[in-house]
Structure 1
Amino acid sequence: MAAVLLAATGCTTDSAAKDTDTGGPGKESPAMRGIALPSWYRTDYDSPAADRYLRGIRATGARWVTFTPTWYQKRRTDSGMHTTQETASDTSLRDIVRRAHALGLKVMIKPHIDLPGDADRAEIRPRDRAAWFTSYRRFITHYADLAADTGAEQFAVGTELAGVSGDSTDWRDVIKDVRDHYDGPLTYAANYDEYKKIRFWKDLDLIGIDAYWPLSDHPTADTGRLRRAWEPIRKELAAYAGHQGRRILFTEAGYVSQRGSTTAPYSWTVSGHTAPAEQAAAYRALLDSFTGRRWWVGVCWWMWDDWPDSGETPVRLAYTPHGKPAEEVLREKWGGG
């Protein structure tokens, strides 16, 4: 199975270090070197900045880029989702996939459902679940068609929907519908505290995890300490991959350049104090800990630059590694020029 998945994902092979963890499927560990470029408005992917951003992503040594078209629901109990002015237009999404391919980048399309403001999509619990899944199938197959039409190399059937991801029968129906529209490898992006509750991994090609594990109880730029924090998590993941017979992709991982980012990687607002060294140490510790593990497919970092005039978090405090020591870590580890 691992050989099939290796070919299907088209991942670029780094040096194949031996995996000392037990239970992981596969013979060696090619790494999916990716960075997400999310959109927050319908014309973001049409922005004049798009080509510059894609070139910047490629210059780190990345070989993949993730795009995140997003639909919304007003309340967590709503029975459906819809486009808004914050949804990337289909035309812009098609165009940016074409631009990425022209630069030699592979593409994962990872559609999101969101709630207004700072509400967490994991809180979505529709009052009419049957109606919600009917609406969701329309949403996700729309993007599966777009992924097929544009030649996107990978597709995510959902992201961090913990309030409904326990409905395994409905998700198997979603996955079947998506496979009728798209032939490439499929994953689901489970949050780090959600993945063990998923019962449909064997219907997918890869286990996807948004890897926002807290690594420390206080701010630290000590790479060795952070590597040690990853050790029990890594062993647990290796065993889980073996049990499921699927390799693991970190569909997201990231750290704001704020003091304390390693204590709460999932937070945009840990503090108002810059800490680029802590961000860089976290990048290095993750790559040191997982690169070469045969059961680990790779990582798509969250995220590259915000679009001009759209960022709510100042760049110096944001998730982006661009222009910070974390970007130099990527260039060193991924061979960027």
Structure 2
Amino acid sequence: MRSRLPLLAIFPVTVLTLVLGAPFVVGNHPVRWDSGSVLPRVVIGDSKDSPTPSTDGTGKAPASSSSGSPSTSTKALEVAKPWKQGMAQWGVQLYWEEESPLRSDAFIEKQARKHAKYLVGLGANSVSLSFPYYIKNSTADVLSTGAKTPSPERLQKVLKIFKDAGFRTTLRPIMDEKTLKQSNGWRGNIDPASRSAWFASYEKLITPYLEAAEKAKANTFVIGTELNSLEGDVGWDKVVASAEKTFSGEISYDANWDNYVTRRINMPVNHLGVDAYFPIKVPDTAPVEDLVTGWNKWLDKKATGPLPNILVSETGIGAMNGAYHAPGDFYVKRAVNPQVQANWYRAVCEVVQDRKMQGIYWWSLWFDDDPNTKPDDKVASRLDFAGRPLSEKAIKSCFTSDYAGPGTTTAS
């Protein structure tokens, strides 16, 4: 039976006087340049080991893997170790905006299989499919889909492809921020003129997507993402109750990292993810252990020791100089530094394992992109990891590690 979790009250809470006064308590979310948060914000090998060649410079993925997992050429759509309850979630956020003119169903199915094959090569067992919805301005109480919002039917097709390949699947609506940028806005500080109208509009908007998630047998539906200003509102009770009647899987909420460390996340769900972009003041040459220390200092502000009920629902960092100081900075394109990104990935993986967390979802893959090609750093986000051999090697090392997950001893 669902209870209103004092979602983070199950851990000892540290008083955060310094954090509450810090200038970074504005949220951050690195969606593409034309739909992300206003930034800057202070918020936060060889072919055997990597799914892309590290020496030929083409960025093309090999036809097969020589690791112990099944070859991606002969078993392209089969997860080596399908996720089961209690296992770690090793995943990626796959962000989908529809292109104009609209791509055919055949194209999206082919594209989904291409991403599935790539993720199998990385050793992933989970995928979260994020998609945008829209708001007119920060005080609006009407929400809507748009031309770039995939239909429930098309999302269902893609979810099914991943499900059939053995992936744990999540569907995650996320508020697009283009209309909020003019007022220096962010989804985490919207202030609807009528909250009751906002929640009624939101329930109406997401219901068809909950139905699609149910038909595709998705594991999780994220009821909200980084909506700091609305957390704890009684309006969520009706939205979640309605969602649970429609969708039989897990209903979760993804909190932004600043709220996670500064307050109790009071939402009527049983599962919590954290979108984690903790800034760490270290030089680009910092070793992995310094990054681990930095992450642990942040997490210790909430609770010390194991965090078996917490999932890193989204994290990433730019492959560039200076990124440790603002990991979620999507817009700035400083000098490319792949080692910065790779070391960050290794550090986060180590923290998740040491603290027995539920897993990681890396931000991100863009649905219409080819993950097997090297990113064009003149236009691509520095947060892109596909086609960066050092980063792919770090991810694969994490996803194929011996860490089974926080609940494997009782897994069914």
TM-score (norm. length: structure 2):
0.68
2:363 to 299, 302, 307: 302
In the aligned structure 2, how far is the partner of 1:58 from the partner of 1:252? 19
What do residues 283-309 of structure 1 show as CA deviations (whole Å, max 9, x unaligned)? 000111121533x11111111245249
Change over 3 Å in CA distance of 1:264–1:132 after alignment to 2? same
**Does the CA contact (< 8 Å) of 2:342 and 2:391 recur in 1?**
yes
* Alignment match, 1:194: 259
Cα deviation, residue 320, structure 1: 2.3
Question: Could you say which residue in structure 1 is the equivalent of 2:188?
Answer: 122
Distance 2:275 2:238 in 1: 23
Listed as ranges, the gaps of 5+ residues in structure 1 are 2-9, 14-28
- 2:379 aligned with 1:318: no
User: Which residue in 1 is equivalent to 2:171?
Assistant: 109
Indicate if the aligned counterparts of 1:166 and 1:197 stay in contact, CA closer than 8 A: no
How far apart in 2 are the matches of 1:124 and 1:66? 24
The answer as to whether partners of 2:306 and 2:355 remain within 8 angstroms in 1 is: no
Which of 120, 136, 142 is 1:80 aligned to?
Answer: 142
**Partner of residue 164, structure 1:** 230
Q: After superposition, where does 1:47-58 map in structure 2 within 5 Å?
A: 47=108, 48-58=110-120
In structure 2, the residue corresponding to 1:86 is in which secondary structure? coil
CA apart distance, 1:335: 2.0
Alignment deviations for residues 248-302 of structure 1 (CA, whole Å, 9 cap, x no partner): 01111111212222211121024331111000000000111121533x1111111
1:138 is matched with 204
Specify whether residues 37 and 107 from structure 1 end up closer, same or farther in structure 2 by C-alpha distance, changes over 3 A only. Answer: same
Q: Which residue of 2 aligns with 1:181?
A: 246
Cα distance in structure 2, aligned partners of 1:199 and 1:273 = 37
The residue that corresponds to 1:335 in the other structure is 400
Q: CA deviation at 1:166?
A: 3.9
Q: Distance in 2 between matches of 1:320 and 1:115?
A: 20
Equivalent position of 2:341 in the other structure: 279
Q: Offset of 1:211 from its aligned partner? A: 0.7
* Structure 2 residue aligned with 1:152: 218
Partner of 1:200, secondary structure, is coil
Cα distance change, pair 110–41 in 1 and its aligned pair in 2 (3 A): same
Structure 2 unaligned residues grouped into runs of 5+: 2-81, 402-412
| Larger gyration radius, structure 1 or structure 2 | 2
Percent identity reads 26
Looking at structure 2, the residues matched to 225 and 199 of structure 1 have their Cα atoms a distance apart, in angstroms, of: 28
Q: Which residue number in structure 2 is paired with residue 23 of structure 1?
A: none
Change (3 A) 1:282 1:155: same
Contact 2:141-2:197 within 8 A present in 1 as well? yes
RMSD (Å), alpha carbons: 2.8
Counterpart AA for 1:140 = I
SS class of match (1:187): strand
CA distance in 2, matches of 1:76, 1:49: 34
For 2:191 and 2:150, how far apart are their aligned partners in 1?
25
Write the distance in 2 (CA, Å) between the matches of 1:315 and 1:37: 19
Return the alpha-carbon distance in structure 2 between the equivalents of residues 221 and 38 of structure 1: 30
Residue in structure 1 matching 2:274, options 205, 209, 219: 209
Q: TM-score, with normalisation over the residues of structure 1? A: 0.82
Distance 1:133 1:64, change over 3 A: same
CA distance in structure 2 between the partners assigned to 1:315 and 1:254 by the alignment: 18
CA contact (8 A) 2:253 2:272 kept: yes
The one-letter code matched in structure 1 to 2:93 is: A
Paired with 2:114 and 2:218, the residues of 1 have a C-alpha distance of 20
